[in-house]
């Protein structure tokens, strides 16, 4: 009989909700109730809309249901990523003759943005993998392209990008991992830090020093897992990006064939930076997707949660906040897409625009996700709700692939070195 009290309270609550339902309905019936202002398909070609649709469907069906589990159990979702690769997502902007999809940077941005709504962390790894595949595709010779690209495009093998070291992050050109030529091999010594996929991936694109100090002494080598002298540190425990393992990559007298060098000696830093231009657009696109998902989550919550006798959606403060979030999302998206187009066309402003896009989009989208969490109140802090995972996952986008401070360096240098 102790159960009757709470039950009758719930019944009264239920009656309240039904009575107020009419009130709410009248107030929001003028609203179209469709989030079309942030619809990411505006302005796209029919073909791009098709790409986007596949990516959205894949994200909703194959990634979204597992996003929380992958985060909590720290699962590297190899099978799901291979399914994505079957659709062509393993080498989106890699050329078709080696198994890639041959699409543009803008197509790529659209796809990653859509995939990210399903799981930002996994999509971010897929984008890193794509970047590595592109570097080999673009700077590799015939043999290297044929050896590595098909397996990377199908995700039979996974890739990691190794630039950062314990002693060189933002000051990437000061890296110390050495590669001494001995006959037809380079002997690598040193270590890389924070490598996404490290230990679980098969192909490592490593920037190392073959020459003197500074960027001109750096070359790019492809190192395969299982090479003697290649080992890994412990798996890092991270705040987010838990669906991809992060480890140090350690070289101890690791012999790598000279045949695995991409491009010429001394070209490595340039290759790395060119990879990052696209990588920055990709990471920014992942932030866009997460922010898009969070705006919709916040919108849905505002329509359902009631306090002070009405839904949160009736609060002008929250309406305005939502409008600001939507505006920042669309602004970020426009900048990222323009940067993608600029990079595709090799425009003279491409590099700075990519930096601006990465800086702006990752910052704004994090704020959007964070604001969405706030709008959820206490529920936003619970892991049962997806919004906190998006916040945690995209926080790191403001740091990696060039910190947002480094982005500012690139942009200010462009302005101040103009004579």
Partner 1 sequence: MSGRVLVGVKRVIDYAVKIRVKPDHTGVVTDGVKHSMNPFCEIAVEEAVKLKEKKLIKEVVAVSCGPQQSQETIRTALAMGADRGIHVEVSGKDYESLGPLQVSKILAALAKSEEAQLVILGKQAIDDDCNQTGQMTAALLDWPQGTFASEVSLEEGKVKVVREIDGGLETIRINTPAVLTADLRLNTPRYATLPNIMKAKKKKITNVKPADLGVDLTSRLEVLSVDEPPQRQAGIKVETVEDLVSKLKEVGKV
Catalytic residues, by residue number, are 401
The three-point CA angle 148-150-152 to 5° equals 65
| Interface with partner 1, residue 50, by CB under 8 A | yes
By CB under 8 A, the residues from 2 to 41 that bind partner 1 are 11, 14-15, 18, 21-22, 25, 32-34, 36, 39
Residue with Cβ nearer partner 1 (40 or 140): 40
DSSP state of 1: -
**Residue of the chain from 54, 187, 255, 330 that contacts partner 1 (CB under 8 A):** 54
Please state at what angle helix 105-116 crosses helix 46-58, rounded to 10 degrees.
Answer: 30
Question: Strand, coil or helix: what is 306?
Answer: strand
Burial string for 282-304 (b: 16+ CB within 10 Å, else e) reads: bbbbbbbbbbbbbbebbbebbbe
Interatomic CA distance for residues 94 and 86, integer angstroms = 14
Residue with Cβ nearer partner 1 (33 or 43): 33
| Interface with partner 1, residue 112, by CB under 8 A | no
Residues 239 and 226: beta-carbon distance below 8 Å: no
| Interface with partner 1, residue 89, by CB under 8 A | yes
The three-point CA angle 336-337-340 to 5° equals 90
What residue spans of 140-267 are helical by DSSP H?
Answer: 142-153
Residue with Cβ nearer partner 1 (212 or 309): 309
| Interface with partner 1, residue 101, by CB under 8 A | yes
To partner 1, the closest distance from the beta carbon of 33 in angstroms equals 6
Residue with Cβ nearer partner 1 (51 or 360): 51
To partner 1, the closest distance from the beta carbon of 88 in angstroms equals 3
| Interface with partner 1, residue 46, by CB under 8 A | yes
| Interface with partner 1, residue 57, by CB under 8 A | yes
Question: Strand, coil or helix: what is 323?
Answer: helix
To partner 1, the closest distance from the beta carbon of 344 in angstroms equals 16
| Interface with partner 1, residue 146, by CB under 8 A | no
- Residues belonging to the chain: 419
Residue with Cβ nearer partner 1 (187 or 303): 303
Residues 394 and 373: beta-carbon distance below 8 Å: no
Which residues form the interface with partner 1 (CB under 8 A)?
Answer: 11, 14-15, 18, 21-22, 25, 32-34, 36, 39, 46-47, 49-51, 53-54, 57-58, 86-89, 92, 96, 101, 103
């Amino acid at each position: 009989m102790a159960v009757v009290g709470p039950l009758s309270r719930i019944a009264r609550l239920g009656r309240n909700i039904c009575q107020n339902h009419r009130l709410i309905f009248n107030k929001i019936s003028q609203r179209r109730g469709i989030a079309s202002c942030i619809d990411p398909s505006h302005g796209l070609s029919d073909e791009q809309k098709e790409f986007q649709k596949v990516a959205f469907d894949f994200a909703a069906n194959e990634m979204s249901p597992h996003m929380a589990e992958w985060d909590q159990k720290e699962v590297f979702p190899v099978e799901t990523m291979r399914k994505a690769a079957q659709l062509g997502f393993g080498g989106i902007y890699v050329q078709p003759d080696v198994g890639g999809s041959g699409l543009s940077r803008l197509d790529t941005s659209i796809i990653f943005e859509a995939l990210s709504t399903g799981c930002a962390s996994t999509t971010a790894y897929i984008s890193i993998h794509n970047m590595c595949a592109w570097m080999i595709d673009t700077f590799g010779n015939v043999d290297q392209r044929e050896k590595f690209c098909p397996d990377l495009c199908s995700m039979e093998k996974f890739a990691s990008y190794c630039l950062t070291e314990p002693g060189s992050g933002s000051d990437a050109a000061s890296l110390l991992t050495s590669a001494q030529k001995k006959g037809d091999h380079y002997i690598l010594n040193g270590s890389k830090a924070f490598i996404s996929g490290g230990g679980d991936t098969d192909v490592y694109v490593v920037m190392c020093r073959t020459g003197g100090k500074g960027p001109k002494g750096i070359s790019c080598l492809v190192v395969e897992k299982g090479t003697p002298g290649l080992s890994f540190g412990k798996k890092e425990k991270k705040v987010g990006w838990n669906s991809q393992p992060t480890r140090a990559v350690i070289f101890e007298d690791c012999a790598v064939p000279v045949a695995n060098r991409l491009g010429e000696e001394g070209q490595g830093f340039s290759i790395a930076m060119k990879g990052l231009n696209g990588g920055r657009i990709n990471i920014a696109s992942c932030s866009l997707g997460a922010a898009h998902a969070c705006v919709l989550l916040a919108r849905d919550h505002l329509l359902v949660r009631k306090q002070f006798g009405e839904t949160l959606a009736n609060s002008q403060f929250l309406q305005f906040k939502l409008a600001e979030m939507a505006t920042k999302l669309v602004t970020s998206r426009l900048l990222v897409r323009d940067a993608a187009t600029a990079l595709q066309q090799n425009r003279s402003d491409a590099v700075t625009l990519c930096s601006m896009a990465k800086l702006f989009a990752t910052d704004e989208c994090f704020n959007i996700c964070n604001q969405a969490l706030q709008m959820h109140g206490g529920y936003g802090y619970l892991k049962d709700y997806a919004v906190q995972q998006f916040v945690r996952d995209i926080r790191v986008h403001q740091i990696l692939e060039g910190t947002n401070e480094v982005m500012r360096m690139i942009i200010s240098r462009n302005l101040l070195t103009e004579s």
